[in-house]
Structure formats: C-alpha cells, structure tokens
Amino acid sequence: MPKVSVVVPVYNSSKYLNKCIDSLINQTFNDIEFIIINDGSTDDSEDIIKSYNDERIKYIKQTNKGIGKTRNYGVSIASGDYIMFIDSDDYIDYDCVEKMYNKAIETDSDLIVSDFFKDIQGKLIKITFPHFDSCTLQENPGLLNFINMGPCNKLYKKDLIKNIKFDEEHKYEDTPFVVKSLKNAKKITKIDECLSYYVIHDNSQTTTKNESIRDILYIMDILKKELNSKIYDSAFKELSVSILTDYIIQQRYIKNRKFRNNFIDDGFNKLYEIDPKWKKSEYLKRINFIKRFIKTHKFITKLYCTMYQIIH
C-alpha cells in the first residue's frame, strides 16, 4: 500500500499535462500512487497519459462529471495514508511529496501546508504567508485569513478528509473543503518553502469568469454555517470580506451589464448581512487606497466594471 496518493483531475489540459505528470513521476519519494482521472477530455489528454509507462499511475477515464465529483471519486479509491491534490495544468517540485510527507510524520500532523508559486506565462511570483507553529484552527483562527483556500499545496491525512466532500453541484467547491479540513485537523503544520506551482493561463479558473460566479454567494452561506461559532466569528468576517470584495470586482469580466450589476448588488448585500461594519475590515486596511475606495463603494464598483468592459 502506498503512503501517499496524488489525485489529478484532467480536463482538456494537454498543453500542460506533460509538465504536470513529469513532476509527479520524478518525485524523490517513491512510495506513492498517482490517480489520474480523465474527466471527459476532448483533446489528446488521454494519449499523453497513456504514453507514460509507470506502474504507479492509476488511470481512470470517465464522462465529464465536474471537478468536485472527480476529486471525491479520487479520494474514494485512494490507497495512501495521505492524499495530495494536483491540478493537471500545475506542477510541483521533485522533492515536494518527500518534504511534505516527512513533515507530516515528524510532527504527527493531519494537514501540511506550504507556500507556492504562481506561474504566469513563465513568470514566477512567490505566494507566502506567515509562519506559524503547529496548531489547530481553534487555537489560531487567523489561519483562515492567511492560508489559501485552494486544495493544492497541501498534504492531508486520509482519515481527516474521508468524510469531507467537495461540493459537486457548484463552482468554487474548493473553499468549503479547505475550511472543513482546517477546522477538523487535530494538528496543522506549515513548511516555509514554495513547493508547488499554480499555473495561470487564459483558460484557468482564475481568468475564466461567467455567470456561475453567483455560486460564490451559495458558498458563503456554507462557510457561515460551518464557522458559526464565537471562536471563528472575527476570522470568518475577515475571510468573507476578502472573498466577496474580490469576486465582486471580478464582475469586470462579465459582459452582461444587468447580470453584472445584479451580482454587485447581491454581493454588497451579503457583505452587510455578514458584518454591518465590514468596511472597517483589517483586510481592506492592507490594500492600497484606490483599490479600497473602489471595493467599498457600490456605485464606484459598478462604474469601474463598466469602464473595464468598454476599454477591453
């Protein structure tokens, strides 16, 4: 039985897939399996996967089910004591698994997190967050505002996530999964190194915005229910401001003006519902004045998004 299972959902990522798989099969850690699930790709992703002759690869082909169902299925068939998630357009350092697994064993942690790089057309940008001693989320609720809400750049003990599912019906399924994992972990430990690479391109989730962006409002209700405790109240409010103001400003990518403005209205209403004093958030104090001014005034936000559409 392998010690670590790496779950890799694949959907039309042939342009990036070789680099991803190469980074996996060349890991310095050998006691590992790679669960590569082709989620109905229509490009030559399957040919690329099958070109690798590595007995550690478990290849599954399925009709398109979406990334939530695909990751959940990957977890359900994983044999490892620990699980990692890698997106098929991303890649990791060759010693990433070894370093994360060793840290998990050394500290007896349920969840290991690390810094990472954003790879934007080959330009690497370090994404780091403050070091913290091993702890639980209850002991350090502020982790909600520093640890990124994506499932990658993390190693999970399988027992931690066996009953935590990715949402299968909505976009932005990552955030509730990560929050629940943080909340349930008996020990969270950080590695102060960038070990993974998050590739941002024209078709990535970061740059592709459509009307499913409304799903974030549903996701916020899930988080509110999950973090409904005095322990998490302040951190949840801070997290809500950072998430919602970010998604509100991303309406600049939406061409339909009516939809765009309706989402902005609903987003501002959700902010006030969560925290009537949200404009005094510490998150907003950390960003520059111009961004803060745009993000905290609904009319200015709408004007900014409209002007963005005109210019672009």
Q: Which of 166, 200, 234 is the last residue of a domain?
A: 200
- Report how far residue 198's alpha carbon sits from residue 107's, in angstroms, rounded to the nearest whole number: 26
Whole-number pLDDT of residue 41: 97
Report the pLDDT averaged over residues 29-35: 97
The total number of structural domains in the chain stands at 2
Instruction: Report whether pLDDT(204) > 70.
Output: no
**Residues 257, 188 share a domain:** no
- Report how far residue 144's alpha carbon sits from residue 161's, in angstroms, rounded to the nearest whole number: 18
3-state class percentages of the chain: helix first, strand second, coil last, to nearest 5? 45, 20, 35
Q: Which of 200, 233, 251 is the last residue of a domain?
A: 200
% the chain with pLDDT above 90? 93
Which amino acid appears at position 211 of this protein?
Answer: E
- Residue 49 covered by a domain: yes
Report the pLDDT averaged over residues 116-122: 94
- Report how far residue 12's alpha carbon sits from residue 203's, in angstroms, rounded to the nearest whole number: 10
Any long-range contacts for 55-60 (C-beta under 8 Å, 24+ apart)?
A: 56/2, 56/25, 56/32, 57/25, 57/33, 58/33, 58/34, 60/35, 60/36
Find the domain containing 46 and state its range: 4-200
Confidence of residue 201 (pLDDT cuts 50, 70, 90): confident
Residues 6+ apart with CB under 8 A from 249: 294, 295, 301, 304, 305
Whole-number pLDDT of residue 210: 64
Q: What are phi and psi of 199, to 5 degrees?
A: -85, 125
Give residue 75's Cα distance to chain centre.
16
Q: Which of 179, 200, 221 is the last residue of a domain?
A: 200
Q: Residue 78 is part of a domain; what is its CATH number?
A: 3.90.550.10
Q: Taking Cα atoms as reference points, which of 30, 11, 161 lies closest to residue 83?
A: 161
**Residues 189, 81 share a domain:** yes
What six digits make up the tokens of 310?
């005109």
Q: For strands 32-39 and 111-120, give the pairing.
A: unpaired
- In three-state secondary structure terms, 86 is coil
Residues 6+ apart with CB under 8 A from 231: 138, 141
Tell me the pTM: 0.93
Mean per-residue pLDDT over the chain, rounded = 95
**Residues 281, 160 share a domain:** no
% the chain with pLDDT above 70? 97
- In three-state secondary structure terms, 9 is strand
User: How far, CA to CA in Å, does 152 sit from each of 69, 175, 225?
Assistant: 16, 11, 24
Confidence of residue 247 (pLDDT cuts 50, 70, 90): very high
Instruction: Report whether pLDDT(160) > 50.
Output: yes
Instruction: Report whether pLDDT(206) > 60.
Output: no
pLDDT tens-place string over residues 141-151: 999 999 999 99
Whole-number pLDDT of residue 97: 98
